[in-house]
Amino acid sequence: MPTDARVVVVPQQQGEPLEVVDLMLPEPGPHQVIVRQYASGICHSQLHTIHNPRQAPQVLGHESTGEVLEVGGEVTDLAPGDTVMVTWVPKNLEQARREGGPVALALPDGQVASSINVFTWATHTIADEMFVVKVPENIDYEADSIIGCAVITGAGAVLHTAAVQPGDSVAIVGVGGVGLSAVAAAAHLGAYPIIAVDLDDAKLEFAKHFGATHGVNASEVDMVEAVRALTPVEGQFDIRRQPVAGVDYAFDCIGHASTMKQVSEITRSGEFGQSKGGTSVLVGVPQTPIELNSAHMFIGERSYICSLGGSCEPSEDLPRFIQWHQDGILDLDSLVTQRYGIDDIGVAVEDLEHGRVAGRSILVFD
């Protein structure tokens, strides 16, 4: 039967304020699931949707915790009463290869609101089963709600995309929710040094709580020179006989044109073509093309790779990161710094946009 829901809607007209709309979710299709939500993360990438032109109203949010209320007739691994997480990444390869469309919601005014794949800024959601993962009942409903995007994106990039090893040197540019998750993963894997780069001293100090060993304020110093000064490689020279300096892995958790370029400049060179150089990892959602110094990349045998959703498989990695939280490896209780009710979504987005969120903010539903 249809389910009552309160849903945050981004109006079609750009610049209009977000609306909280009361509507009825339809009955689930064969592969769909209805979830009553406990909490949802508020991801910085959603600001791109809010500020970019659109052809219709949209619904947002892509990480949450909740409980299954109803399942479609062909859903096999979920049942009413299951504790679940909703994420934007298909939970395994088998599900990813099955065709599943975006959700479209009929609004009371006759318009239709769409989502890319899921929406979690809502008291209840309907989603394809490929984006819904059963998890243990004893999760932290609030803090764990950010695992489905912030944690898998940041920690996953370190753990899976880069496969950081003990002793590897790491720089993480942008230490919001995603960057702090990357810092925690790097610390757990034994990286050293772990250099946090941001524009705010308070955020850099906060990053040390998660395992950063050094902080660089890019508003006060040349970030490239500062990171290289922290990471000389004793006794090594590049092919031009210049001393090798720089990190093994540099993670851009922002995606601005300047930071995408800078992470390529702070990785170390290889040695005389006899060893490979460092690797830059783009983690944040890019909003513009960039040009890289091809000679710098080529001579140093440096690499530049991208990480979409931390290269994670949610069916395996969501339980992994839940356990990290429970074991104290990943302090999500500190990472979630602000909580809002659904009617305060406008304030929540404004706080995020103006840098008033130290870690990650969430919506909590009654």
Model pTM? 0.96
Burial class (CB in 10 A: 0-12, 13-18, 19+), 207: buried
Residue (of 101, 84, 89, 105) closest to 38 by Cα position: 84
Q: Is residue 157 part of a domain?
A: no
Q: Where are the beta strands (DSSP E) in the chain?
A: 3-10, 19-25, 32-42, 58-59, 63-71, 83-87, 104-106, 112-114, 124-128, 132-134, 170-173, 194-198, 214-217, 232-237, 243-245, 249-252, 279-282, 303-306, 336-340, 360-364
Same-domain pairing of 127 and 198: no
What pLDDT is attached to residue 297?
Answer: 95
What pLDDT is attached to residue 351?
Answer: 96
* Max Cα–Cα distance, the chain, nearest Å: 72
Same-domain pairing of 46 and 173: no
Same-domain pairing of 7 and 81: yes
What pLDDT is attached to residue 327?
Answer: 97
Q: Is residue 356 part of a domain?
A: yes
Residue (of 158, 152, 205) closest to 185 by Cα position: 158
Same-domain pairing of 49 and 127: yes
Same-domain pairing of 119 and 227: no
Same-domain pairing of 284 and 203: yes
Q: What is the pLDDT of residues 247-306, one digit of tens each?
A: 999 999 999 999 999 999 999 999 887 789 999 999 999 989 999 999 999 999 999 999
> What is the DSSP code (8-state) at residue 357?
-
Same-domain pairing of 32 and 105: yes
Instruction: Please give the chain's pLDDT, 366 residues, in tens.
Output: 789 999 999 999 988 999 999 999 999 999 999 999 999 999 988 998 899 899 999 999 999 999 999 999 999 999 999 999 999 999 999 999 998 767 899 999 999 999 989 999 999 999 999 999 999 999 999 999 999 999 999 999 999 999 999 999 999 999 999 999 999 999 999 999 999 999 999 999 999 999 999 999 999 999 999 999 999 999 998 988 899 999 999 999 999 999 999 999 999 999 887 789 999 999 999 989 999 999 999 999 999 999 999 999 999 999 999 999 999 999 999 999 999 999 999 999 999 999 899 999 999 998
Of the chain, the end-to-end C-alpha distance in Å amounts to 21
Q: Is residue 158 part of a domain?
A: no
What pLDDT is attached to residue 312?
Answer: 97
What pLDDT is attached to residue 48?
Answer: 87
Using CA atoms, how far apart are residues 316 and 325, in angstroms rounded to an integer? 15
Q: Is residue 137 part of a domain?
A: yes
Same-domain pairing of 9 and 145: yes
Q: Could you tell me the CATH number of the domain that includes residue 185?
A: 3.40.50.720
How many domains are there within the chain? Answer: 2
Q: Could you tell me the CATH number of the domain that includes residue 96?
A: 3.90.180.10
Q: Is residue 156 part of a domain?
A: no
Structure tokens at 179: 């960057």
What pLDDT is attached to residue 239?
Answer: 87
Q: Is residue 344 part of a domain?
A: yes
Query: Domain span at residue 282?
Result: 163-306
What is the phi-psi region of residue 310: left when phi exceeds 0, alpha when psi lies from -120 to 50, beta otherwise?
left
